Structure 1
Amino acid sequence: MSNTTNNYIQKYRMKVFNELVKLAWFGKLEEEIEELPHKIIENIKDEKERKIVESYIRLAMGLDPINSNKSLREEARKALLLDKIKKPLVSVIENICEQCNRFHEGSCPIHGQGCMNDFEECIGCGQCIEECSLGAISDKIEFIPVVNLLQEKRYPIFAAIAPAYAGQFDESITPGKIRTALKMIGFSDMIEVATFADILTMKEAYEYKHLMNNKKEYFITSCCCPVWVNMIQKKYPTLLDHMSPAVSPMIAAGRVIKALNENAKVVFIGPCIAKKNEAKEEDLEDAIDYVLTFRELYEIFDALNIDLKNLPEENREEAAFTGRVYARTGGVSKAVELTVQRLDPHSNIPFKSEAFDGAKNCKDGLDQLLKGEIDATFIEGMGCIGGCVGGPRTINSIEEGTKRVDAYANGTSMKTPFDNINALQLLTRLGIKRYEMLENAEDEKVKNLLVRNFKN
């Protein structure tokens, strides 16, 4: 298993995190953290360079890097006791930024050019983080406070893993090996978020059918991507009337797991920076306790010397084709189309989809939609090129990730949510005894688990 990122800054950032994982896991974080800057850079030149390294250390512990007068030892003690990582989740490291005299043309899809300075306007795509060659912009990592949860075992703690995971590690590393590895470090179980994508596919299929029967021109999916949802909320609020009120599969997973497991903690693992922010939105923060990325998970396994290739399998089939294919561009559209066809195979309701990927393409597509230039009834958007397999915290290339996700999606005999007995059993345990109940967004059980109210 090898980390394929070619970005020097990200390799440096992950080196810091890797060292922190070792210290925290073996109970040496407070004791040895003051020496860590010199371990990362053997000959620190000056005070400014030391502060830059310390800023990366603070971010890797889930803390703010700016205006901190506390020692690293005090910060480590604080990080280990955090019950939530607080906003802002993305920070600008000032000592690096001072060295930059370039104007980053096109680095922000909202402002068009220049670095993002107004974080109220930020849609969370992470493009500025990836494009900053000096590494001045970075996001917090949320693993250090999870260490105590995993080691103390006071609560059941579940890893809810995004559908894109099937394409991220070495081809020989199966879902069953990843589940085994996560259990080895203390997780109670690994749950595939694709199962909840199946449930939401069914919900959106009912919503689509209802809107088309009521002569709406088009339906906008809200599933999956917080970048897409944020863009519509902040920049295109007049389109909210056409958008599904469903939560994302990540939020549905967290809420359902907690509804069925008292005192459970849920850690989402995915390809995305924006999911860290989504988990902390005011109307959604009940669902997910911490968010990790695939790249961070790679470093955790590496730091703890876990060799996934040689682990035993713990495989089980949790999701249908429809839930698994969410991980790539056009996947949500395909999932809902197949499900609409199964709902009513003789219906004359049209299904013409349009899928946008990449934040700029999403923005351009929404502009065209407002001008009436798009002839489609189902509109999908994903903030990353290629969809989730192209997320800023993936390991493999978009092409390889897409190929493996397609293989994983086609590797199950369950084609739609109707075939997924796991999803139906989950709903039954929640008191939602028939898929038809998902059609009623005012049903209290459905509303509490699967619906959100968009602020217009």
Structure 2
Amino acid sequence: MFTENRSVQIRRELIKKITKLFFAGEIEQKADKIAVEMFPKHSESPRCCIYKARAIVKYRLMALFGIGDEEETDETASLAHYYKNALIEGNIKHPLLTVIDEACSSCVKINYFATNACRGCVARPCISACPKDAIHINAGQSVIDSKKCVNCGKCMKVCPYHAIVYIPVPCEEACPVNAISKNEHQKECIDFSKCIYCGKCINKCPFGAIMEKSQILDALNAIRSGAKVIAMLAPSVMGHFDAPLGKIAAAVKKIGFYGAVEVASGADLTSENEALEFIERIGSGESFITSSCCYSYIELIEKHIPGLKRHFSTTKTPMIFSAELVKKEHPDAVTVFISPCVSKKSEALKSGEVDFVLSIEELGSIMEALDIAPENCEEELIEKPATPRGRGFAASGGVMAAMDKVIRSRADAAKISGAEEGGRNDGAAPEIAPIYINGISRQSIKELKGYAENGCGKSNFIEVMSCEGGCVNGPCVINPPIIAQRKYKEFNEVKI
């Protein structure tokens, strides 16, 4: 779900600016000057005027301070005011996404539109194909009546000149659970009783109007306070930096973190426990269970597919297991999970097990702001490296593969034990017969609802990843999927 465009570049530039000002101790004095510096008088504006562009920058910065557009109480208040409030109030609150009204373009919802490429042909197949009589000819060209149109798309398919186009509302189109719609002011708004924090809408909005509320200030303030702040690096991090894990850990420490740990170690524990749960539950007669590591999927079950709750694995996620490991060794630690997605921030807030969450994109921008290049750092020794099993969790199929390794190793151990005792192994573990949901979409949600109602045949385990290709392709990352997957694969091939 990576998108490299001007909107994303502006977001990253703002992260770098506030990082530099924070460490220089000047953010309170200079935050309000950022918008003017980015769009000075007589400069080119990406919006109607530089004043609107500046206003949007203000609201973007508020989101990076952890404050949503909807939380604004005084339009005349300065960014310095919101910065001080952010430091005083601390951690962000639900909802975690905010729609910036000023940035929203109020996209007109006319899905199918006949362009001036229409030749007004004699055949008029568009009219013949329309089941709702929504097309008529005016001044020699086809016109679609949006009030009658049911968006079936039949007219577009039959037009010989490709004169009919589909015009989506990008954020609404991207949302797999129909959580985004227009309010009375024709601005987009998010229904958080439906939202699963998949983050698909963030990068799909061409105007950058949807942002997640950041915890950058919380994490940096904890570092500045001298607290023992430990970065928990998700396995997907390895797809987004030009350096091995030891150098990334060194770069993180240069920022000011006390240390860095692999969340893949938590994934090792998740795979072990989920495999044992699978053996027990399937062995006891349950038809199937589903994975538990993707928090967007957890939100999906809670809000949209309650019928799958009884099949859901109760095993803790790698992030939670990792946080417990850190707290066991460093009870006074402040934990910061480095994440590829939005949903982990929701999990951290609801569980209370993780203090803050930064995205991979945010971590990379902080490093750039401080001129820290991981590839140029001296490699740190990873004291307790995870296994390839845990490190593979960030790719689609990785959860199932890790569980399968655990089950097979237990089966092999049981065979050896049985052979040594001269007996038989009658308690053989069930084999995994998986189904892969490679990305949460409207179609895959229909599929999951079908499994909830009718079962999944001979399959007994469903692995669900919100992002197509896995966490390595999350919405809050740095590299495009092809590069991220290649780097991630190279990392997993390293012998440990």
TM-score (norm 2): 0.77
Q: Identify the match of residue 148 of structure 1 among 221, 237, 256.
A: 221
CA distance 1:92–1:58, shift in 2 (3 Å): same
Q: In 2, Cα distance between the equivalents of 1:380 and 1:138?
A: 28
CA–CA separation in structure 2 for the residues paired with 1:348 and 1:21: 52
Q: 30, 49, 54: which one pairs with 1:50?
A: 54
Q: Which runs of 5+ in 1 are unaligned?
A: 414-456
Q: 1:157 to 1:270 in 2, by over 3 A?
A: same
Cα deviation, residue 372, structure 1? 3.4
Relative to 1, partners in 2 of residues 1:164 and 1:367: Cα closer, same or farther, differing over 3 Å?
Answer: same
Find out whether 1:168 has 2:168 as its counterpart.
no
What SS does the corresponding residue of 2:211 show, helix, strand or coil?
strand
**Residue type matched to 2:80 in 1?**
R
Does the alignment pair 1:349 with 2:430? yes
Distance apart, 1:278 and its partner CA:
1.5
> How many residue pairs are counted as aligned between the two chains?
403
Listed as ranges, the gaps of 5+ residues in structure 2 are 110-168, 182-187, 416-427
Instruction: Give deviations 1:388-438, integer Å, cap 9, x for gaps.
Output: 01101121222332233233223235xxxxxxxxxxxxxxxxxxxxxxxxx
Q: Does the 8 A contact of 1:161 with 1:192 survive in 2?
A: yes
Identity of aligned residues (%): 30
Q: Are the equivalent residues in 2 in contact too, given 1:52–1:93 (CA < 8 A)?
A: yes
Q: Does residue 75 in structure 1 map to residue 82 in structure 2? A: yes
Pairing 1:355-370 to 2, within 5 Å after superposition = 355-360=436-441, 362-370=444-452
TM alignment of 1:171-190, pairs within 5 A: 173-190=243-260
Separation (CA, whole Å) in 2 of partners of 1:369 and 1:279: 29
| Cα gap change, 1:85 to 1:373, in 2 (>3 Å) | same
* Distance (Å, rounded) in 2 between the aligned partners of 1:206 and 1:351: 12
- Structure possessing the higher radius of gyration over alpha carbons: 2
Residues 301 and 307 in structure 1, CA contact (< 8 A), matched pair in contact too: yes
For 1:245, give the aligned amino acid: T
| C-alpha deviation, 1:117, in angstroms | 2.7
1:49-448 paired onto structure 2 within 5 Å: 49-66=53-70, 67-69=72-74, 70-97=77-104, 99-102=106-109, 103-104=169-170, 106-111=173-178, 117-153=190-226, 155-170=227-242, 173-223=243-293, 225-281=294-350, 284-285=351-352, 287-316=353-382, 318-345=385-412, 346=415, 347=428, 349-360=430-441, 362-370=444-452, 371-413=454-496
> Structure 1 pair 310/350, CA: closer, same or farther in 2 (3 Å)?
closer
Q: Quote the RMSD (CA, aligned, Å).
A: 2.0
CA distance in 1, matches of 2:324, 2:467: 25
Mapped to 1, the partners of 2:104 and 2:93 lie a distance apart of 23
Tell me, in whole angstroms, the C-alpha distance in 2 between the residues paired with 1:323 and 1:116: 38
Q: TM-score of the superposition, structure 1-length normalised?
A: 0.84
Q: CA deviation at 1:99?
A: 4.3
SS in 1 for 2:358: strand
Displacement of 1:112: 8.5
Q: Is the contact between residue 3 and residue 203 of structure 2 (CA under 8 Å) also seen in structure 1?
A: no
Q: In the alignment, is residue 35 of structure 1 matched against residue 33 of structure 2?
A: yes
- 1:374 and 1:213, CA in 2 relative to 1: closer, same or farther beyond 3 A? closer
Amino acid at match of 2:277: E
CA contact (8 A) 2:340 2:359 kept: yes
**Conserved 8 A contact 1:59-1:139:** yes
Contact 2:92 2:215 in 1 (8 A): yes
Q: Which amino acid aligns with 1:124?
A: Y
- Aligned-residue offset at 1:152: 2.5
